[in-house]
Amino acid sequence: MRPRVIFFTLSTIFIVYSFSIYLKPLSIGEDKRFNEKQAAEGHLVWQSYNCQTCHQLYSLGGYLGPDLTNIISNPQKGEKLVRVMVKSGTKQMPAFSLSDKEMDALIEFLKSTDASGIADPRKFKVNNFGMIEGNENK
Amino acid sequence: MKINKINIGNIFLLSALLMLVLGLCFGLLAATIYIYPDFLKQQIGFISLRPLHVSSAMFWIILGATGCIYNGMKIYITHVKTKIIGIIQWILWLVAIAGIITSYFIKDFGGREYWEFNAVWALPIAMAWILFLINFSSLVYKIKNWPVYIWMWLTGILFFLFTFTENYLWVFSYFREHFITDMTIQWKVNGSLVGSWNQILYGTAIFLMDKISNTKNSGRSKFAFFMYFLGLFNLMFNWGHHIYTLPTEKYIRYIGYIVSMTEWAFFIKIVYDWKSSINTIQKHYHYFPYRFIMAADIWVFINMGQAILMSIPAINIYTHGTHVTVAHAMGTTIGINSMILLAACFEFLNFNTVDNPKKRKYLNVIFWVLQVSLLLFWLSLNIAGIQKGIWQLSANQGSYSKMMASLNSYFILFFMAGFGLMISFSAFAFLLIRSTLTRNNLKNDEE
């Protein structure tokens, strides 16, 4: 088979696969546990203060600070601790001066990550095919 | 100087070498924070140093890859003249890099991990890449029967442009409102972008093999094409192995898992086939390009083993989110991409030590400092990662800060090895830049 044919065939499959992922939000219903619009703004706050440089979500991100996916529902941490830590900083983490609107949006974003699933590897299971399970929506 | 007399490929290679030196300096400063947590905290901090390091390192690879294609085309099609769009492409990169570095220093963030700068600076990069695609297409459209490296270069250019655009879908709230889909796209992009520049660099490695051995064996064989399509298949579909722990659609994770298992295995065979065909005289004449490709070959082997193991979900559960992932990322960026780029710099910038055994001996020492430093660097990160993995899965976890403090001795080794990398890479970069400027290698030979 000519290289050109293989290239175009693979590329077409890739484009279809990509769009099937882009269109996925259309089939997802509204989650009542957080405000989606505010969470989307909070995602921008997360990016504009570069939180990902030190922190992870689902173990993806930086390595200096802890994973924050489920910090909101953690009984020893939660929303109040996030608000205090962001304002006061720690030995490594600088203090950030977020406006009230930005802070509320960031909290809403962290509520959305918390509602999306479980990131603690201790809760994961490996099925018969060797794939990870147990991270699905709570 | 007339535009058509400028050797645009070498200008890109020189710019890439400067980004390499910058990236190493920022990297060493960032690594210091692992040992002294409040180092430069008030002045610049890890929040700026990490993106400064990562972006500089990525620009070393991307600008270097661009330089390799321009130089490769200049050799493949003789008498290629530099066009104005090539110069505009380079100027757009300069504008983007200046803007991005400033954006990090003044903490004007906004982008995703690895691309944390204000999104406005993505525009000159996208424009530069569109010009690159136009320029490259205008050079290759008349060529019949492309060797595999031209296919790989075109693939790298096209898919970089596609995934770089995809990287900014988050600007639409439609995507941001659905966190899991958004993060799935983010890691689809990260996986495919790396695949794109790997296509360019592996294509360059095959081009160099043909050039050094003075044959067309590597670039025309059916096996090379098979390997290329396997690489393309992986670029398109293996990125799911980054997000096994993300509760995205199961089929995405299974596709990533299955495709990953086909990864890289054939690249090594091509290199070995080539190695056996090269004779002593050729090795002697192309001494450092040969050595760096051989080093890349060994690092492919090490990193391929690690990548395949990490792509098995049952193992990934232990390594994901730990420094093992960093060891793999650094191992491939430094061990494979940078070794191929240095081989290309020695070859394309015409740096030859054939008449100067003393210089060759001195460069050999630096070569080994580089390889040993990289090995220690890789080992320290892997050991730290394994320790973190044990902590992650232990029933009675202590605090995160205590766990990080317990890794301090590995971070000291990581810092020292990083220092060795900085010294050795900078020495190579300095020699290559000085020799190019001294011999006025920024002009086209044939003009």
* pLDDT tens, position by position, A11-42: 999 999 999 999 987 777 777 788 989 999 99
Q: Between A and B, how many residue pairs show a Cβ–Cβ distance under 8 A?
A: 171
pLDDT on residue B145:
86
| pLDDT, mean over chain A | 90
In the structure, what pLDDT confidence band is assigned to residue B281 with cuts at 50, 70 and 90?
low
Domain assignment present for residue B253? The answer is yes
pLDDT exceeds 90 at position B6: no
Side-chain-facing half-sphere of A41: CA atoms under 13 Å: 12
Are B253 and B370 within one domain? no
pLDDT exceeds 50 at position B330: yes
pLDDT on residue B271:
58
pLDDT exceeds 90 at position B87: yes
pLDDT exceeds 60 at position B267: no
Are B3 and B100 within one domain? yes
Are B6 and B134 within one domain? yes
pLDDT exceeds 60 at position B264: no
In chain B, the residue whose alpha carbon lies closest to the alpha carbon of A13 is B236
Q: How far apart are CA B199 and CA B154, in angstroms?
A: 9
Domain assignment present for residue A111? The answer is yes
Are B21 and B99 within one domain? yes
What percentage of chain A has pLDDT greater than the value 70?
A: 97
Nearest to B307 by CA among B328, B322, B286, B327: B328
- CB distance from A40 to chain B under 8 Å? yes
Are B133 and B170 within one domain? no
> Whole domain around residue B246: which residue ranges?
159-278
pLDDT on residue B126:
97
Domain assignment present for residue A100? The answer is yes
> What's the whole-number mean pLDDT along residues B145-151?
92
SS (HEC) of A57-96? ECCEECCCCCECCCCCCCCCCHHHHHHHHHHHCCCCCCCC
Q: What is the pLDDT of residues B393-418, one digit of tens each?
A: 888 888 898 999 999 999 999 999 99
Q: Do A50 and B41 touch (CB under 8 A)?
A: no
Partners of A126 in beta bridges? A132
Is the model more confident about A79 or about A27?
A79
Closest CA–CA distance from residue A131 to any residue of chain B (Å): 5
Domain assignment present for residue A90? The answer is yes
pLDDT on residue B147:
92
Which of A49, A53, A57 is nearest residue B50 as measured by Cβ atoms? Answer: A53
> What's the whole-number mean pLDDT along residues A97-114?
95
Domain assignment present for residue A65? The answer is yes
Residues of B in contact with A21 (CB under 8 A): 181, 184-185, 188, 252
Are B175 and B76 within one domain? no
Token pair for B240: 């799911």
For the ranges A11-15, A125-129, B306-310, B438-442, which has the lowest average pLDDT?
B438-442
- Number of structural domains (chain A) is 1
Token pair for A109: 């974003």
| pLDDT, mean over chain B | 89
In the structure, what pLDDT confidence band is assigned to residue B447 with cuts at 50, 70 and 90?
very low
Contact (CB, 8 A) for B207 and B72? yes
- CB distance from A104 to chain B under 8 Å? no
pLDDT on residue B250:
87
State the best of B233, B245, B260, B394 to mutate against chain A, taking most chain A CBs within 10 Å: B245
In the structure, what pLDDT confidence band is assigned to residue B177 with cuts at 50, 70 and 90?
confident
Domain assignment present for residue B439? The answer is yes
Are B99 and B226 within one domain? no
Domain assignment present for residue B299? The answer is no
Domain assignment present for residue A57? The answer is yes
- Number of structural domains (chain B) is 3
Domain at A81, CATH number = 1.10.760.10
Domain assignment present for residue A10? The answer is no
For the ranges B64-73, B127-136, B250-259, B429-438, which has the lowest average pLDDT?
B250-259
Domain assignment present for residue B332? The answer is yes
Are B201 and B105 within one domain? no
Residues near A79 by beta carbon (within 8 Å), at least 6 away in sequence: A72, A107, A110
pLDDT exceeds 90 at position B62: yes
Are B236 and B135 within one domain? no
In the structure, what pLDDT confidence band is assigned to residue B77 with cuts at 50, 70 and 90?
confident
> What's the whole-number mean pLDDT along residues A71-96?
92
pLDDT exceeds 70 at position B86: yes
> What's the whole-number mean pLDDT along residues B73-82?
78
User: What is the residue whose two structure tokens read 């890449």?
Assistant: B129
- CB distance from A91 to chain B under 8 Å? yes
Domain assignment present for residue B289? The answer is no
In chain B, the residue whose alpha carbon lies closest to the alpha carbon of A127 is B314
pLDDT on residue B18:
97
pLDDT exceeds 90 at position A128: no
Q: How far apart are CA B269 and CA B444, in angstroms?
A: 35
Distances from the Cα of B229 to the Cαs of A75, B113, B232, in angstroms? 50, 29, 5
Q: What is the pLDDT of residues B294-324, one digit of tens each?
A: 888 888 888 888 888 888 888 888 899 999 9
pLDDT exceeds 70 at position B273: no
pLDDT exceeds 90 at position B47: yes
| Sign of the Cα pseudo-torsion (B208, B212, B216, B220, in order) | negative
Q: What is the pLDDT of residues B204-218, one digit of tens each?
A: 988 988 888 777 777
Domain assignment present for residue A8? The answer is no
DSSP three-state, residue B111 = strand
pLDDT exceeds 60 at position B46: yes
Residues of A in contact with B169 (CB under 8 A): 22
> Whole domain around residue A77: which residue ranges?
33-133
In the structure, what pLDDT confidence band is assigned to residue B272 with cuts at 50, 70 and 90?
low
Domain assignment present for residue B152? The answer is no
Which of B46, B317, B392 is nearest residue A53 as measured by Cβ atoms? Answer: B46
Is the model more confident about B312 or about B279?
B312
Are B119 and B169 within one domain? no
Residues of A in contact with B312 (CB under 8 A): 130
Distances from the Cα of B203 to the Cαs of B83, B141, B154, B156, B198, in angstroms? 23, 18, 10, 9, 8
Are B20 and B97 within one domain? yes
Are B79 and B135 within one domain? yes
Domain assignment present for residue B148? The answer is no
* pTM for this model (two decimals): 0.92
Q: What is the pLDDT of residues B33-42, one digit of tens each?
A: 989 888 888 7
pLDDT exceeds 60 at position B223: yes
- CB distance from A60 to chain B under 8 Å? yes
Q: How far apart are CA B360 and CA B354, in angstroms?
A: 8
Domain assignment present for residue A112? The answer is yes
Domain assignment present for residue B151? The answer is no
